[in-house]
Amino acid sequence: MQSVPTTNFQFPGQESVYHGKVRDVYFFKDKLVVIATDRISAFDYILPKPIPYKGQVLNLTAAHFLQATKDICPNWLQATPYPNVAIGLRCEPIRLEMVVRGYLSGHAARTYASGLRELCGVALPEGLKESDKLPTPIITPATKAEEGHDEDISREDIIRRGIVTEEIYATLERYALGLFARGTEMAAERGLILVDTKYEFGMYNGEVYLIDEIHTPDSSRYFIADGYAARQAAGEPQKQLSKEFVRQWLIENNFQGKDGQVMPVMPDEFVAVVTNRYIELYEKVTGNAFNRQQPENLMKEIETSVLSYLG
């Protein structure tokens, strides 16, 4: 099965290229061409094997939600000429991830279990257990690292360090909470609970724009709504649609990105499981059927789609 582990195209007018954890970004004077590869990352490390169709799932899911939230804030996307490809405005990135949490899960749950009752300067109430709904959604920002680990940071430290002004940060908060509320509504319509997610923003002509992906399995965690309350009451793990199961597999294989740990290699059987889970999430979260197309030459199809759009 074909996959897109990495790309190295040379497009007319291209100024540079940046290979991120899962996306290859081609820079032009006023636009970006973003190619969603099939790389998968966890604990801020790229895993050795690509996941077929994962890039298409991420790109199409993000496009679905970017289209559905244009009324909340402007975003960078202009076109998706191929399932792996997104083309849009070249914004100046703000080096923050705006993480919104509606439930105690993932990193927040691990922090809470360690005994801490504050995350990014936000106080967490006593008496919570994993997967409990928080009294109100909270924002727990992280610095966006060029390399290595992103770091938790408080609102106060963001402003004190001059990452953004207080006025811009207030806009980021308003947009992030508005997007989370819309994402929550859309998830509920699909029988899902949007647990937590991250948003990234940039500046374009002096305005804040939503950039990158939103509400995808790489940036978000979803619970299955049916049976949520019963599972919580019984102390059972929640059924999830996210890549948390990949993190759990890594933890079970003694890897959390810590010094001295060796990255395990996924067996092909588990790679197929991950592919199917990503496609399941796409269909569940968007309500659209996923087309597992296998062109004769996937990389050539991607290149041709970009050239035709730029043409």
Q: Sign (positive/negative) of CA torsion 17, 243, 50, 308?
A: negative
* Residue 217's CATH number: 3.30.470.20
This prediction has a pTM of 0.89
Domain membership of residue 57 (yes or no) is: yes
Return the H-helix or E-strand segment holding 34. strand 31-36
Q: Which residue matches tokens 């060796």?
A: 262
Q: Are residues 99 and 84 in the same domain?
A: no
Residue whose tokens read 């296998």 = 294
Whether 232 and 103 share a structural domain:
yes
Confidence of residue 147 (pLDDT cuts 50, 70, 90): low
C-alpha Rg value of the chain to the nearest Å? 19
Same domain, 99 and 87: no
User: Would you state the pLDDT for residue 298?
Assistant: 96
Domain endpoint, select from 245, 277, 296: 245
- Given a cut of 80, whether residue 146 has pLDDT beyond it is no
Residues 66-85: tens digit of each pLDDT: 999 999 999 999 999 999 99
The pLDDT tens digits of the residues spanning 259-274 come to 999 999 999 999 999 9
- pLDDT band of residue 149 (cuts 50, 70, 90) is low
The answer to whether position 258 is within a domain reads no
Give the pLDDT of residue 224: 95
At 12-62, the pLDDT tens digits run 999 999 999 999 999 999 999 999 999 999 988 999 999 999 999 999 999
Domain contains 259: no
Confidence of residue 155 (pLDDT cuts 50, 70, 90): very high
Arithmetic mean of pLDDT over the chain: 95
Provide the residue range defining the domain that includes 85: 16-92+265-310
CA distance 269 to 143: 35
**Residue 277's CATH number:** 3.30.200.20
pLDDT at 296 over 90: yes
**How many angstroms separate the CA atoms of 217 and 296, rounded?**
28
CB atoms within 10 A of CB 296: 7
Q: What is the pLDDT of residue 44?
A: 85
